[in-house]
Amino acid sequence: MSNQAAELLVDCLEAQGCDRVFTVPGESFLPVLDALRDRTQIQTVTCRQEGGVTFMACADGTMTGRPGVAFVTRGPGATNASIGVHVAHQDSQPLILFVGDVGREMRDREGFQEVDFPAFFAPICKWAARIDRAERIPEYIARAYATAMSGRPGPVVLALPEDMLHDDGVEANIRPMVHRPAQPPCPDALTAMMAMIGDAAAPVAIIGGAGWHEKARDYFAQFAERIGIPVATAFRRQDAIAPSSPVYAGNLGYGPNPKLVERVKAADLLLVVGARLGEATTNGYELVTPDHPGQQLIHVHPDADELNSVYRADLAICADPDEFSESAALWDDGSIISFDAGAEAHAEWLAWSTPGEADFKLDLTRCMAMARELLPADAVICNGAGNFAGWWHRYWHYAGSPSQLAPTCGAMGYGIPAAVAAALRMPDRCIVAAAGDGDFLMNAQELATAAQYGADMLVIVFDNSAYGTIRQHQHREFPRRIASTELANPDFATMAESFGGWGIRVERTEEFGPALSQALERKGVRLIHCRTDIEQLSAAGATVSGLRAS
C-alpha cells in the first residue's frame, strides 16, 4: 500500500524548513515514521517519554524561531505530551505537535485511547484541529506554521487520523515556506513614546518574551545605552540583553535584587517590550499592578490581543520586537537627555551578582564563582524548576544568544530534554543542564536519548534529598510540620555511567572546581552529583533555621 498522504505531510514539513522532529513512536502514525525513514533533510530523534519529546521541541523552537516539531501517539502519548504544549503556550514559543489519532470511522465510540484532541488541547494552545482530508494537508501545515510563529508565538496541535495517513493517490500542491510577519511600529506611536520617555524622571525598561531574538537584543541595547535607561529582563529572559551592557539592571522574577525591585517601584514610566508582565515577573501582579497608579506604561507586544488584556497601557504599540527595537535605535532626534540611572542600576546588578561565601560544606555560591571561571561565557544553561535555579539566575551572566533555556511556567523536568535539543542544535556550544534532585528524575530517562544521538552535554545535579521549593513554602506556612517533601535518591553519578556517560560525586566546596575541570575535558554525557545541605534553601539567603526563627 502506498503511503502518499504521509509522504505529502513530510514533504510539507521539508518545504517549511523542518530539519528535525522529536518523537516516541506509536502505531497510530506508522506511515509518517516510514516516510521519515529515508529522508536526509529531516533527522528523527526517538525519545523515551512524550513529555521529553515536547520539551525538546519547545526548546528547539526557542533556539530557531521556527516551530519545533513533535510526533506522539493518541491517548497516553498525547496526555504525556501536554506538559510541553503548556510550556510552549506560557513561554510564547513556537511548537507544532502532531498526534496520531483513531481512524475516522472509529471516532465518537470511545475507541482505543480515543480523546477529542481539539477540545482537550484548545485551552493551552493557539490552534488545535484534526486533518480529516489528505488533500488539505498542505493547507493545515502552512497554517500551523503561520499560527505558531505569528503574533505571540505558541503551540499548535494537529490530530492525524490513522486511516487518513494511508490515503493513496492524493493530489495537492505544497505551499511555500511561511515566514513570521515583520510588523514595524507606528511612527506616530514612536514619536509619542520618545516624548513620554523625555518627560520621565525615572524610567525603567522590562524586556524579553514573545518574538524576542538576536536582532532585538542588539538594537534594543543600542537604544537603551544611548538614553541611559535601566534595562531589567523578565523572568527567565536574562539572555535578552548582553550582561556587558552598561545599562543592564538584572532580572525580575523569583529572588530578584531588592534594589532593582525598589527601582521598578519608584519608576514613573515603564517601557515593557515583548514581556507579558506575568505573575512571576511582577511578583504576583504586585510589583507592577494591572492599573499601576502613579506610573505610566508603554507596552510593546507583537500580539494585539495581549495589549490591554491584563495591564492598562498608557501607550500600546503592536509591533514585532525586532522591528520595534531597530526603529527605536535609529530614531534619534537628540531630544532625550541621557539618564544616569542606567549606569547606577548596572553597578547595583554587578554587586548583587558577584558571588560571596557562605558557611556550608558545599557552598553553592562559591560553586557558581567556580562555574563562571571555568565554563565558557556563552554556555547555554538549561534548567527546569526548583530553588537550585536561583543560584544560576543570580550569579550566572547569560552572555550568549540564546543562552537560557528555562520554562517561565515553572515546569519541572525541562532541563535535561532542553539540553539534548540544544546539544543537537548547537554542537559547538557548551551545553549545561542544571537540575535539582526532584527536577532531574522527572526526565532523567532522556539521558538515554542524549547518549544514543551523541549529545555533548554537562549535567549538574544539586541533591538536597528534598523537593526544596515546596519545603521552603512549608517552613513558612506550616512551621516544623514537614510533610511529603523528603526524597530518597540514587547515586546520580553511577546512574550517568549506566547510560554510557561519565559521573562524579561532589560533597565539599573545594571538590567542585576540580570535578568541573575534569568534566570539561571529556565529551558526551557528563554528570556532577552535588550533595548539598537542605539548610541552604535559596540564593537569596533563605535558610531553614532562619525561616524557623521568623
Residue range 59-73, pLDDT digits in tens: 999 999 999 999 999
Do 304 and 325 share a domain, yes or no? yes
Do 301 and 191 share a domain, yes or no? yes
Q: Residue 344, Cβ neighbours under 10 Å: how many?
A: 16
Nine cell digits for residue 253: 522574577
Which pLDDT does position 458 carry in this prediction? 98
**Residue 122 DSSP label:** G
Return all residues near 457 (Cβ < 8 A) that are at least 6 apart.
419, 420, 422, 423, 431, 432, 433, 450, 525, 526
Which pLDDT does position 19 carry in this prediction? 98
Do 17 and 156 share a domain, yes or no? yes
Q: Is the residue at 177 inside a domain?
A: no
Better-predicted residue by pLDDT, 181 or 503: 503
Which pLDDT does position 534 carry in this prediction? 84
Which pLDDT does position 308 carry in this prediction? 97
Q: Is the residue at 178 inside a domain?
A: no
Which pLDDT does position 16 carry in this prediction? 98
Rounded to the nearest integer, the mean pLDDT of the chain is 94
Any idea of the CA torsion for 484, 489, 492, 497, to the nearest 10 degrees?
A: -130
Do 63 and 204 share a domain, yes or no? no
Return all residues near 290 (Cβ < 8 A) that are at least 6 apart.
310, 311, 312
Boundary (domain end) residue, out of 317, 350, 383 = 350
Whether the Cβ atoms of residue 130 and residue 47 lie closer than 8 Å to each other: no
Share of the chain above pLDDT 70, in %: 99
Whether the Cβ atoms of residue 128 and residue 140 lie closer than 8 Å to each other: no
Do 294 and 234 share a domain, yes or no? yes
Residue 487: closest CA among 507, 467, 460: 467
Helix (H, G, I), strand (E, B) or coil at 172: coil
Is pLDDT of 109 > 80? no
Boundary (domain end) residue, out of 350, 377, 394 = 350
Number of domains in the chain: 3
Do 387 and 519 share a domain, yes or no? yes
Mean local confidence (pLDDT), 524-537: 91
Mean local confidence (pLDDT), 431-445: 96
CATH code, domain carrying 126: 3.40.50.970
Boundary (domain end) residue, out of 136, 166, 196 = 166
Do 154 and 224 share a domain, yes or no? no
Which pLDDT does position 3 carry in this prediction? 56
Mean local confidence (pLDDT), 254-260: 95
Do 326 and 361 share a domain, yes or no? no
pLDDT digits (tens, 9 = 90+) for 367-423: 999 999 999 999 999 999 999 999 999 999 999 999 999 999 889 999 999 999 999
CATH code, domain carrying 210: 3.40.50.1220
Question: CA neighbours within 13 Å on the CB side: how many for 313?
Answer: 22
Q: Is 201 exposed, middle or buried (0-12, 13-18, 19+ CB in 10 A)?
A: exposed
Place of cell 495517513: 165
Is pLDDT of 286 > 80? yes
* DSSP H/E element including 529: strand 525-531
Q: Residue 267, Cβ neighbours under 10 Å: how many?
A: 26
Do 346 and 409 share a domain, yes or no? no
Do 533 and 395 share a domain, yes or no? yes
pLDDT level of residue 337 (50, 70, 90 thresholds): confident
Which pLDDT does position 429 carry in this prediction? 97
What pTM, to 2 d.p., does this model score? Answer: 0.95
Give me the phi and psi of 403, to 5 degrees please: -145, 5
Mean local confidence (pLDDT), 286-292: 97
Whether the Cβ atoms of residue 29 and residue 37 lie closer than 8 Å to each other: no
Q: Is the residue at 136 inside a domain?
A: yes
Is pLDDT of 547 > 70? no
Whether the Cβ atoms of residue 88 and residue 127 lie closer than 8 Å to each other: no
Is pLDDT of 299 > 70? yes
d(CA 69, CA 413): 19
Rg of the chain, C-alpha, whole Å: 24
Which pLDDT does position 2 carry in this prediction? 46
d(CA 114, CA 161): 11
One-letter identity of residue 508: R
Q: Which domain holds residue 131?
A: 4-166
Q: Is the residue at 181 inside a domain?
A: no
Do 31 and 129 share a domain, yes or no? yes
Is pLDDT of 1 > 50? no
Is pLDDT of 211 > 50? yes
pLDDT digits (tens, 9 = 90+) for 29-69: 999 999 999 999 999 999 999 999 999 999 999 999 999 99
Which pLDDT does position 179 carry in this prediction? 96
Do 344 and 369 share a domain, yes or no? no
Q: Is the residue at 236 inside a domain?
A: yes
Is pLDDT of 112 > 80? no
Which pLDDT does position 533 carry in this prediction? 86
Nine cell digits for residue 252: 525580575
